[in-house]
Chain A
Amino acid sequence: MPWYSGDRGPMQLARAFGDVINDVQRVRRGWRWDTPRPRTWPEQGAVVPAPASDLGWARQEPVRTIRWLIQHGLLLPFTEAMAHPKVEGREWVTELERPVIFAANHSSHADTSLVLHALSDRARDRTVVAAAADYWYKRPLLGNLVGLFLNTFPFSRTGGAKEQLHSASRLLKAGWNLVFFAEGSRSPDGRIQEFKPGLGFLSNETGTPVVPLHIRGAHRIMPKGQKLPLPGPVRVRIGKPMTAQPKEGSREFTARVEQAVRALAEEPRQPELQGTWIERWRALKPREPEYLD
């Protein structure tokens, strides 16, 4: 007899609800969702291989619509309230005609939301974020949540170069923009660390331009080790898209992008990186209206 048959009334309903809670608690304690892995458990492999699914569901409808609602109702207003980001060079990411890699410095968990905040709605909707598989995807619930909120996909930091980059290059070829923190992990002191050559490799392999970004102030909002963000001003400076020169290797190109990000950090505007006014003016040219027959 089902619990809702009315045979035993509200007591039965309360019991059924209690059973569900017990089950959840039991599982939660059994696998310790929110505490480190117990020492008594056998050693885990150093590498967490990317799951077979690279969170493809997060890039499908209706998840995209749900994400749009979450971002516009929660994430972007929160970012705006906490950081009042001042964005320079938005013209380079307003009307993207082809996928690009956003290469930014990384000093805080707030960086991803700040980059997404700086993009136009159109560009943001077509942007995925490479998230460290060994950090974010250790706990499936957390991994799925960031996938839902930020459109991340697991990116292994420790595997072989080609395997690591395969999923990312597939996404680029499928028309997605990619947010890529080439330093590999958050800077402990806010200073820019050396960029890993995977960035240049990805760009060369897929022929995708790289848009250098510099985020100033995110380290003060949420430095490494801090659990909750604190409000503070942020400036996001976006440079014009860069492509590898003919015969330029991945390492050289990565070094050039790193140099560009470092230069963007400097105070006065950088016309060679941010573009002359004529280049920016042309980049902002409104899209010609498209009429359907």
Chain B
Amino acid sequence: MARPGAVIEVDRNTPPVLFHFGEGVRLEKLPLGARIVYPPDPLEPMTNPERAIKRALTKPLDDDPLKSLLRKGMKLTIAFDDLSLPLPPMAAPDVRQLVMEEVIDMAAEAGVEDIHLIAALGLHRRMTADEIRHIVGDRIFSTFWPDRLYQHDGEDPEANVYIGKTAEGEEVTLHKRATESDLVVYVNLTLVPMDGGHKSMSTGLASYRGIRAHHNVKTLLASRSYMNPPDSALHHSCVRQGQLIEDTVRVFHIETTVNNHAFPSIANFMQKRETDWTAQDQAMFLGMKQLTDLAPPAFKRNVFHAMRAPYGLTGVNAGQVDAVHEKTLEAVRNQIAVRVEGQTDVVTIGVPYLGPYNVNAPMNPVLVVCMGLGYLFNFYRNKPVLRKGGVAILTHPCRYEFDAVQHPSYIDFYDEVLADTTAPAEIEAKYELRFAEDPWFRQLYRKSNAYHGAHPFYAWYWAAHAMEHAGDIIIVGGDREVVHRLGFKCATTLEDAFEMAEQTVGRHPSVTHMRMPPILLADVE
């Protein structure tokens, strides 16, 4: 039986706590009385994933068995999530591979000849052939790549179809192949409650026109938080779009959930609570600390990005989208929810080396904000862990470091837009459309491996709620010039950051450290 998550109060015997620090780690002593929120231990994975997948496909929720939906002469499309999930990338075989192999086996048995597999990228970057191979496995890759296995292109006028408008006026577009198909099977992997459900189709196979309907400052400020779909305007919008899609196309959803076993044995200490560290874990920490302190960033990056997570499948559900997603969310919450009593004056978060948008690339300053104040800050239900006007302290080296292939629009966003203003609403009104329609960014998104021109804006909006909520934001260990450009304060050490925070929240503030990753969802009472 896996231990549930825990909130521990720091006393004199509490060991120092691990802070992620980009491509590095730190041990920090927190003030007495501070709280540390730990995620639950990884749930026991299913022993026979293939059997569970087969069972889900034969006995779907509120839908017919998949086999009965497949027939000779039909057009079948399988769409699947891209490499932004899970994080770190899963050790082979990826659960999406296992699911797709079962679906394709059934299609082969039924004699379905017209079958296409589409990576549902939305406005994310195109994956390399090797990255796709990692997700789908050798067998699928060899059979279908590149003519029947390809990636969604949200800027291809030929490949995107406008479906209509929702009651709230949100435009909906969809990949043309999906609209022409007799059946679309969506294979999803839900790591956090934000993923899956109607959002899969309405963003994964949509164009900029459809995605901007909910990826905007107004919607994201009204999503509190977007990690809890019932309270998320983003998800309400996706549901409206999704319902329109379901009226147009027959979709069979398959959603999988994994436990939070995010680190391989070599980095096992990151997975464990510090009170559980053995001598071996301490030695591993010391080794990694020395290595990451001394090694050049490119080397560290290669080592970290080569890590594959030994995630285990904890649930697989198939069928009608709402019924499936309800079960999925329940499974995800079982794994990551932690009860936290009351809010805090100061919240500390270690920002790790990896976020959804920098797989195999450095985490640039805009993505540090997206990860720390977007994703990690929003892992709450009911109300934020940080009280309104409190101080958020992040740890990250925050260097001026961009991947020119993956993040070309981020460079211009940082150099041009953030030099002018950091206010999300102003940025949106003034710059977003120009970047989104820039022919060069469009070309790089379509033909290279670059994120869409509008993507850095979304990354910034993701943090809009945290920026509005927090009284002050301090980045420990960051490059001073970069942190100031982002509009935050910079501190050399955590002690300095606490001292700076006292100016905002007063003497002896309450402090809570969110010990992530592995991820957790704070259920704040």
Contact = CB atoms under 8 A, between A and B. Distances in A.
A281 B147 contact: no
A91 B104 CA distance: 16
A90 interface: yes
B142 A277 contact: no
Contacts of B142: 90-91, 280, 284
A280 B148 CA distance: 13
Interface in A263-293: 269, 276-278, 280-282, 284-286
B113 interface: yes
Interface string B82-118: 0000000000000000000000110010010101000
B111 A278 contact: yes
B299 interface: no
B431 interface: no
Chain B: interface secondary structure?
helix
Contacts of A278: 108, 111, 113
A278 B143 CA distance: 9
A285 to B, nearest CB: 8
Given A269-B147, A276-B113, A277-B113, A286 B139 contact: yes
Contact of B144 (A90, A277, A282, A285): A277
Contacts of B138: 284
A277 B142 CA distance: 10
Interface string B136-155: 00110011100110000000
Contacts of A277: 108, 113, 115, 143-144, 148
Nearest to B148: A277
A285 B137 CA distance: 12
B139 A284 contact: yes
B139 A281 contact: yes
Nearest to A271: B113
A281 B78 CA distance: 15
Nearest to A91: B142
Nearest to A276: B113
A284 B113 CA distance: 17
Contacts of A284: 138-139, 142-143
Contacts of A286: 139
A282 B143 CA distance: 10
Nearest to B141: A284
B143 A280 contact: yes
A116 B115 CA distance: 32
Nearest to B108: A278
Contacts of B108: 277-278, 281-282
Interface string B109-129: 001010100000000000000
Nearest to B105: A281
Interface in A115-142: none
A91 B143 contact: yes
A90 B142 CA distance: 8
Of B111, B143, B144, B148, the most chain A CB neighbours within 10 A belong to B143
Nearest to A89: B142
Interface in A229-279: 269, 276-278
Contacts of B143: 91, 277, 280-281, 284
Contacts of B115: 277
B146 to A, nearest CB: 10
A91 B145 CA distance: 12
A280 B144 CA distance: 9
A284 to B, nearest CB: 5
Nearest to A87: B142
B109 to A, nearest CB: 9
Interface string A59-89: 0000000000000000000000000000000
Contacts of B111: 278
A285 B147 CA distance: 20
A282 B108 CA distance: 8
B133 to A, nearest CB: 13
Contacts of B139: 281, 284-286
Interface string B202-233: 00000000000000000000000000000000
Contacts of B147: 269
Contacts of A280: 142-143
Contacts of A281: 104-105, 108, 139, 143
Interface string B248-261: 00000000000000
Contacts of A282: 108
A276 B111 CA distance: 11
A112 B310 CA distance: 41
Nearest to A280: B143
Contacts of A90: 142
B394 to A, nearest CB: 44
Nearest to B113: A276
A276 to B, nearest CB: 6
A213 B108 CA distance: 26
A68 to B, nearest CB: 22
B140 to A, nearest CB: 8
B196 to A, nearest CB: 27
A105 B115 CA distance: 32
Contacts of A285: 139
Nearest to B147: A269
A269 B146 CA distance: 11
A143 B104 CA distance: 48
B76 to A, nearest CB: 11
A286 B93 CA distance: 14
Nearest to A285: B139
A128 to B, nearest CB: 26
A109 to B, nearest CB: 28
A277 B139 CA distance: 11
Nearest to A278: B108
Contacts of B144: 277
A13 to B, nearest CB: 50
Interface string A155-192: 00000000000000000000000000000000000000
Contacts of A91: 142-143
Interface in B361-393: none
Given A278-B111, A284-B142, 14 more contacts: A90-B142, A91-B143, A277-B108, A277-B115, A277-B143, A277-B148, A280-B142, A281-B104, A281-B105, A281-B108, A281-B139, A281-B143, A284-B139, A284-B143
7 contacts: A90-B142, A91-B142, A276-B113, A277-B113, A277-B115, A278-B108, A284-B139
Interface of B: 104-105, 108, 111, 113, 115, 138-139, 142-144, 147-148
Rank and list the top 5 A-B pairs by shortest CB-CB distance, nearest first. A284-B139, A278-B108, A280-B143, A281-B143, A281-B108
